[in-house]
Amino acid sequence: MTTNPPLALEALTLSLPSVAGPVNILRGVDLTVAAGETVAVIGPSGSGKSSLISVAAGLETPTSGTVRLFGQDLGALDEDGRARLRRGRVGLVFQSFHLLPNMTARENVAAPLELAGRADAMAEAEAWLDKVGLGARHTHYPHQLSGGEQQRVALARALTVRPELLFADEPTGNLDAANGAMVADLMFDLLAEAGAALVLVTHDEALAARADRIVRMADGLIVPARTEVST
Amino acid sequence: MRLALRFAGRELRSGVAGFRIFLACLALGVAAIAAAGSTAEAFRQGLASQAREILGGDLVFSIDQRRFTEAERAVFGALGPSAYSVRANAMAETPSGARRLVDVRGVAQTYPLVGVVQLEGADSLAQALAPSGGVPGAAVEQALLDRLNLSLGDTFTVGGATLRVGAVLISEPDRIGRGFALGPRVLTDVTTVEAAGLLGTGGLFGEAVRVVLPTEADPKAVIEEVRETFPDAVFEARDRSEAAAGAGRLIDQLEYFLGFIGLASLVAGGLGVGGAVSAYLEGRKASIATLKALGAEGVLIRNIYLIQIAVLALIGVAIGLAIGAVTPLIIGALAAEQLPVPALFAVYPEPLIRAGAFGLMAATAFSLWPLARARTTPPSSLFRKEMSGAPTLGLETALAGTAALGLAGLAILTAPSRWAAAGLIGGAAGAFLALSLLGLAAAWGSGKVRGLARGAVRLGLANLAGPRSAARTATPAIGLGVALLSAIVLIQSSLLAQVSVVAPRTAPSLVFTEIPGDRVAAFDTLIDQALNNPQTDRYSRLPLLTGRITRLKGQPVDIEAIDRGERWAFDEDLTLSALDSAPDNSKVTAGTWWTPDYVGPPLVAFEQDAAKGAGLKVGDTITLQVLGREIEAEIAVLREVDWGGFGANFGVILNSGTIAGASPRHVAIAMASREEEAAITQALAADFAGVNVISIRDQLEQAATLFDRLALAIRGAAAVAGLAGVLVLVGAIAAGARFRAREAATLKVLGGTRGQIVTAYLVEYGLVGVIAGLAGATLGAAGAWPVVTQVFNATWSVDWPVILGILGGTTGLGVIGGALAAFAALSRRPAAVLREAG
């Protein structure tokens, strides 16, 4: 029996309306990510990288094409159905961190576990904060944390559910070099520990090089790769 | 739900600073409704607690134009301790010739049965009324002493009796229950009034008996028994529950009016509530999208924010209830002694529960709509900031709609007059809708004309047209407050003008009663001389009869079948007259008036509205009990009566042949200057001492004074609705503060000066104020005009200084709002703002 890949995109298109007419953001993307595989998506601004993650994670509905997460066609699910599918199986890390401002670091990390109905959400969250080096900052609110610390909290939140697939959209984009490197190291280490697949959007070629595979995007399409790194 | 509670609790931990406007708008409206209801209840409880004193006993039986028979007295006497009193209007005259109409009351020695008569200058009523030197005493109101220049111990005459001022009458315990008096009150012994000849046939007088029942007796059952004993008697009977029915109705009407203002404040403030929730949820868009990205379903999102809104609504309502409950206690502490009606100031649950229900429904109606939009916030808005949720027809919109209907329904159900309330609610809703559309139109129009302007003005117009324009929320909220205030001002100014300007011009200034029927010619001669041969538009005299309609079209009067507003002509005695022919300005609407030489069966001219209410038309017959006999008369004429004008303003006029042979008293009306009034009053003393002279001018001046006193209080109450509009404006400024700061920072980067930025905001908000003011005043006028002209039948009059003041104030409010918005936008350094936005 064949195991479904965590992610399979087929002929994906995304057009958004604008005052000047529809804007074609994705123009027919095909991509498959295998279990445990790390894929870096690189390309210039406006090439559709972040939109690719948005659609692939089920946060947005494509104009046409198919998105399968763990073999499930997202087109057959409504918004709540997609949310339920993400619970416990998908992690998300954003460039702007997107921590919940009125919750402490511990509560932020615990949130996806609470949504999944886990009774040990707080204890697990504390353990993950310790893992990312923020054991002393459990009760701090996001505005009391530095950028690097906020991203570490976001990383803990994404991985605490032990996802099968992690989406990371420019995870180091808002961080200085030192913090960015720390977050990147943490991400790959914890990812390897969890055995999760990764779809990483980044401008950082060095960061991209750490992935199993690099995919280049331009003008809403995946262009033929210049180099591929095999594990 | 436990998860939603947990997440909601975490959100609320950050405090309610962002919800100050939400809380203020809700608390203001709830406080106004609660204060109105609590104060009214205090007056109701006060009246109820003193019902016995106000009534003067447990029961009162009263009758007009005759004394009680011996049989009736025997029955009343068997019920319990009783106190008889008689009442009449008569002219009081001093030895120097000064004269004034007074309300004379003669009481038995058992009076008062309950309560105390408050006097000055005597230790007791018995002492005040005791004869001195053979002259009976009287307790006299200070107003009469001032008018006739009398002091304690001085003598004056009333009718055929000489009285001595034995004390100054401060108050009687049953004064409120006795109603309106035509002149200052004189209280004396019943035998004195009898001796003065004021209780004879033809004069207007009445008798009453107050009875104290045994504790276990049921007053209503006793009244029923007495009526069964005297089935044909026409006396009026009241028990404690009707002690001050008029005052009770007035309290109900005032409560509803003030409560309606509170409701209007709640509706106007609802925009502030909705705006605050919208702004809050807008700021939470990223959190909502993040939660959805983490796996939260829409229902959870809804519940998280619904719980927060519910908690904040409860806090806002609680604050309003606390203020509303305390307000009457403060009034009581400050002004209890000056109140004309007794009041028991305390915390009453029922009006607070009602106000709380209004508040919660308003919060639900205005909060859930933005929640519906927030719930559908797409998680992709994490990547695309401009994306927002689209409202759907789900639970939130259903609840909001139900709450809005509930709000209107509760307002109508709790009103003293449901049709009037439905009209008020419908009018307010229509005004709100019109103002909301106007706000949208103003925003649209600004967008169209902005190309014609330059620089800061163009920027202001662009802001007015933009998505965060204050025109959409502040215009309807401020406009509704202005509409309410304008309507009240216009109604008041018209009524005040009617009383102080129009009525003195068109209504009679003097009314003469008790003119002997056999001396009318001499009376006419005296008036001719005093008024220098007046035309019929200055003097008119008619016979005055008292009668009662007993049958309509041959059938006994069925009062329930008659329109409620027209029962006045059929459920009690009424005054009528008789004429040879049609009077001047007869305003016949159906039928033909009889000629002066008419001989035949009795004919009657009937007031058209009363006829319509009873289903009567020309040709139908009515049976009248008048002059001691029953007369069946055919309706020859239906006419429109100008009750406040100068003319034969009787609802029923018989042809004069019907009363041929009788010599009833006459009544006359005259238009006279103040000097002519004094001269006539003096001239009548010699030959017509028994003729009562009622100065309508005095009554109108008293009414005008009363109006003036109430005006300030009622306008102040209406200003509460305006305050709600101010809060909404402040809320709109606060909601857009971050955006304005970014805009101002960008403009500075592009070379804009502070002056230009301030000008833009002044233009934007100033226009909001102008538009809201003009629209509100126009709608207020549209609402006030039918009330003035159709309900009160008064002349439309505009108090321009006040209206212009309201318009100026609204414009000023807008300008101040613009200045505040500019101050908020310019208070931060551009670099910091732009860094945040990046």
Chain A partners of B10 at a C-beta cutoff of 8 Å?
100, 102-103, 107
What's residue A28's pLDDT?
A: 93
B665: its two tokens: 């008293």
Q: What is the dihedral of CA B636, B639, B644, B646, to 10 degrees?
A: -70
Mean pLDDT of B406-417: 83
Within a domain: A72: no
How many residues does this entry show for chain B? 838
Q: What's the rounded Cα separation, in Å, for the pair B594 and B581? A: 6
* Among candidate residues B78, B117, B98, B381, the one with its CA nearest the CA of residue A60: B381
Nearest Cα of chain A lies from the Cα of B280 at a distance, in angstroms, of: 13
In contact, B117 and B125? CB cutoff 8 Å:
yes
Structure tokens at B820: 């505040």
Peptide bond into B112 cis (omega under 30): yes
Of A60, A83, A102, the CB nearest to B14: A102
Helix H, strand E, coil C: the string for chain A is CCCCCCEEEEEEEEEECCCCCCEEEEEEEEEEECCCCEEEEECCCCCCHHHHHHHHCCCCCCCEEEEEECCEEHHHCCHHHHHHHHCCCEEEECCCCCCCCCCCHHHHHHHHHHHCCCCCHHHHHHHHHHHCCCHHHCCCCHHHCCHHHHHHHHHHHHHCCCCCEEEEECCCCCCCHHHHHHHHHHHHHHHHHHCCEEEEECCCHHHHCCCCEEEEEECCEEECCCCCCCC
Query: B576: closest CA among B549, B550, B552, B547?
Result: B547
More confident residue, B466 or B620: B620
The CATH number linked to A213 is 3.40.50.300
Q: How many CB atoms lie within 10 A of CB B838?
A: 5
Q: Give percent above pLDDT 70 in chain B.
A: 94
User: How far is residue B828's CA from residue B742's CA, in Å, rounded to a whole number?
Assistant: 10
Residue of B299, B382, B385 to mutate when probing chain A, most A C-beta within 10 A: B382
Beta-carbon separation of A98 and B378 below 8 A: no
Q: CA-CA distance, A195 to A115, in Å (whole number)?
A: 22
Determine, for residues B10 and A102 on separate chains, whether the beta-carbon distance falls below 8 Å: yes
With CA atoms as reference, report the closest residue to B811 among B458, B479, B455: B479
- Confidence at residue A215, expressed as pLDDT on a 0 to 100 scale: 93
Share of chain B above pLDDT 90, in %: 29
From CA B205, how far away is CA B199, in angstroms rounded? 6
Pairing mode of beta strands B99-107, B82-93 = antiparallel
Name the residue facing B382 among A98, A99, A114 (closest C-beta): A98
Q: Are strands A165-169 and A64-69 parallel, antiparallel or unpaired?
A: unpaired
Instruction: Decide if A79 and B298 are in contact by the 8 Å CB cutoff.
Output: yes
Q: Which of A60, A87, A100 sits opposite B295 (nearest CB)?
A: A87
Chain A residue set in contact with B, beta carbons under 8 Å: 16, 50-51, 53-54, 57, 59-60, 79-80, 83-84, 86-88, 92, 94, 98-103, 107, 111-112, 114-116, 157, 169
Contacts of A157 in chain B (CB under 8 A): 294
Residues of chain B in contact with residue A144, where contact means CB-CB under 8 angstroms, are none
Q: Looking at per-residue confidence, does B252 or A65 come out higher?
A: A65
The model's pLDDT over A2-11, given as tens digits with 9 standing for 90+, comes to 578 999 999 9
CA distance A230 to chain B (A): 31
CA distances from B836 to B739, B745, B758, B831 (A): 11, 11, 23, 9
List CB contacts (< 8 A) between A169 and chain B: 383
Structure tokens at B722: 């305006």
Strands B603-607 and B629-639: parallel
- B160 sits in the region (left: phi over 0; alpha: psi -120 to 50; else beta) called alpha
Angle, CA B386 vertex, CA B382 and CA B388 arms, to 5°: 80
The shortest C-alpha distance from A125 to chain B (Å) reads 15
Contacts of B14 in chain A (CB under 8 A): 101-102
Dihedral angle over CA of B584, B589, B595, B600, nearest 10: -140
Q: At what angle do helices B754-786 and B800-826 cross, to 10 degrees?
A: 150
Domain ranges of chain B: 1-50+253-416, 57-242, 434-507+696-838, 508-695
Separation CA B701–CA B707 (nearest Å): 10
Q: Chain B residues with CB inside 8 Å of A111's CB?
A: 291, 294
| Residues B142/B168, Cβ–Cβ less than 8 Å | yes
Strand-pairing partners, residue A16, are A23
**pLDDT, tens digit, for every residue of B37-95?**
888 888 888 888 888 888 888 999 998 878 899 999 999 999 999 999 999 988 899 98
Task: Inspect the interface and report whether the beta carbons of A59 and B378 lie closer than 8 Å.
Answer: yes
CA B80 to chain centre: 39
Name the residue facing A111 among B286, B294, B379 (closest C-beta). B294
Looking up tokens 């005004």 gives B431
Contact between A198 and A29 under an 8 Å Cβ cutoff? The reply is no
Cα(B739)–Cα(B88) distance, integer angstroms = 75
Using an 8 Å CB-CB cutoff, list residues of chain B that contact chain A: 3, 6-7, 10-11, 13-14, 286-287, 289-300, 378-380, 382-384
Can you give the pLDDT at residue B505? 67
Q: Given the structure tokens 């209907």, which residue do they identify?
A: B405
pLDDT surpassing 60 at residue B11:
yes
Return d(Cα B182, Cα B186) in angstroms, integer: 12
SS (H, E, C) B563-621: CHHHHHHCCCCEEEEEECCCCCCCCEEEECCCCCCCCCCCEEEEEHHHHHHCCCCCCCE
Range of the domain at A215: 36-54+77-223
Q: What distance in Å separates the CA atoms of residue B11 and residue B141, rounded to the nearest whole number? A: 67
**Minimal Cα–Cα distance from B379 to chain A, Å?**
5
Q: Which residues of chain A have pLDDT under 50?
A: 1, 228-231
Q: pLDDT tier at B835 (50, 70, 90 boundaries)?
A: low
B292 min Cα distance to partner chain A (Å): 6
* Residues constituting chain A: 231
Per-residue tokens: B434: 């019109």
B7 CB neighbours in chain A (<8 A) are: 114
Average pLDDT score over chain B: 85
Question: Residue A114 and residue B378: Cβ atoms within 8 Å?
Answer: no
Question: Does residue A71 form part of some domain?
Answer: no
Please tell me the predicted confidence (pLDDT) of residue B544. Answer: 86
- pLDDT, tens digit (0-9, with 9 covering 90-100), for B373-398: 777 778 887 666 655 666 667 788 88
CA distance B646 to B631: 28
Position B78 scores a pLDDT of 93
pLDDT recorded at residue A110: 93
Q: From the CB of residue B676, how many other CB atoms can be counted at a distance below 10 Å?
A: 19
Distance from C-alpha of B316 to C-alpha of B333, rounded to nearest angstrom: 26
Q: What is the DSSP string of B350-374?
A: HHHHHHHHHHHHHHHHHHHHHHHHH
The answer to whether residue A109 sits within a structural domain is yes
Give the contacts of B448 (CB within 8 A, at least 6 positions apart): none
Q: What's the order of all strands across the beta sheet hosting A7-16?
A: A23-33, A7-16, A64-69, A72-73
Residue of chain B whose Cα is closest to the Cα of A51: B383
Specify whether the CB–CB gap between B613 and B562 falls below 8 A.
yes
Calculate the CA B683 to chain-centre distance: 41
Residue A84: inside a domain? yes
Q: Which residue of A has its CA nearest to B294?
A: A112
**CA B40 to CA B256: how far, in whole Å?**
9
Residue B734 pLDDT greater than 80, yes or no: no
| Residue B207: pLDDT over 60 | yes
In chain B, residues with a C-beta closer than 8 Å to the C-beta of A116 are 295
Q: What is the chain A residue with the closest CA to B298?
A: A80
Quick check: ipTM above 0.90? no
| Total number of domains in chain A | 1
Query: What's the pLDDT score for residue A231?
Result: 46
Q: How close does chain A come to B825, measured CA to CA in Å? A: 23
A92 interaction partners in chain B (CB closer than 8 Å): 293-294
**Rounded-to-integer distance, Cα B536 and Cα B527, Å:** 12
Note the Cα A121 to chain centre separation in Å: 21
A interface test, pick of B1, B2, B290 with most A CB neighbours within 10 Å: B290
**Beta carbons of A100 and B298 less than 8 Å apart:** no
Q: How far is CA A4 from CA A36, A58, A230, in A?
A: 12, 17, 21
Inspect the interface and report whether the beta carbons of A83 and B290 lie closer than 8 Å: no
Q: What's the rounded Cα separation, in Å, for the pair A156 and A130?
A: 9
Residue of A nearest to B290 (CA): A98
